[in-house]
Amino acid sequence: MGPVTTAPASLEVSGLAFAYPDGHQALFGVDFSVARGERVALLGPNGAGKTTLVLHLNGILGGGTGTVTVAGLPVGKRHMAEIRRRVGIVFQDPDDQLFMPTVREDVAFGPAAAGLKGAELEARVRAALDRVGMAEFAERPPHHLSFGQRRRVAVATVLAMEPEILVLDEPSSNLDPASRRELADILRSLDVTVLMVTHDLPYALELCPRSLILSDGTIAADGPTAGLLRDDALMRTHRLELPFGFDPRAATAG
């Protein structure tokens, strides 16, 4: 029997440390790995370094120490175009990502810039909109959509690039309960690695079997989401608060 070959992890972060030019040290040596197809939540109090970490994943920030590898490719100048295709970041405000006259044009923008055209481009756009349930809105101006619909289109703009990993920054923020559930259904249906940065601990529990707690620039805990949320001392230490009345023992990730 020959050797078993395994695909490289979607994301490998090793010894990542970073200080801003003003001297503020945001990351002090971050280590973790996310396997292909995993859904992982990144939790932590404000100021823990979550945004700084996310901006390293596709090379927006760099110049510190340590390494970030996406599907075996080191994040750096040599592979930057491919890394930015493979790491799709959906920012907290969808209006940061939607700027074209119609939904179709917004979703087509990235693939068209990468050289897709004609029927291939149309198929890519249609598939991305289908995956988020927004195909019927293709000709609508994004600013005529609800906030929840705009967030789904923002997800489609990233999916159209066929990323290796989908990074979501506070995906449930400002969503009403129905929109929150619709987005959860979409995220569960996607065949893509997901890293979800969130303060919404019930959403993390619902969608991500595993969570990382980033605190003071290091990974303070890494384990099953339900176990971390049940650890009262851990939660208190890292200023993580469950909503009033929410019992993590009665809910499970799926």
- Under the banding of pLDDT at 50, 70 and 90, the label for residue 142 is very high
Q: Which residue has the higher pLDDT, 42 or 254?
A: 42
- Distance, CA of 156 to chain centre: 13
Does 11-239 carry CATH code 3.40.50.620? no
Q: pLDDT by residue (tens digit) across 189-243?
A: 999 999 999 999 999 999 999 999 999 999 999 999 999 999 999 999 999 988 8
Q: Where are the domains of the chain?
A: 11-239
Give the sheet arrangement for strand 193-197, strand by strand. 87-90, 165-169, 193-197, 39-43, 210-215, 218-224
pLDDT of 251 over the 70 cut:
no
pLDDT of 3 over the 70 cut:
no
pLDDT of 253 over the 80 cut:
no
Q: For residues 55 and 51, what is the distance between their CA atoms, to the nearest angstrom?
A: 6
The pLDDT value recorded for residue 33 is 97
- State how far the alpha carbon of 75 is from the alpha carbons of 48, 61, 246, in Å: 22, 10, 39
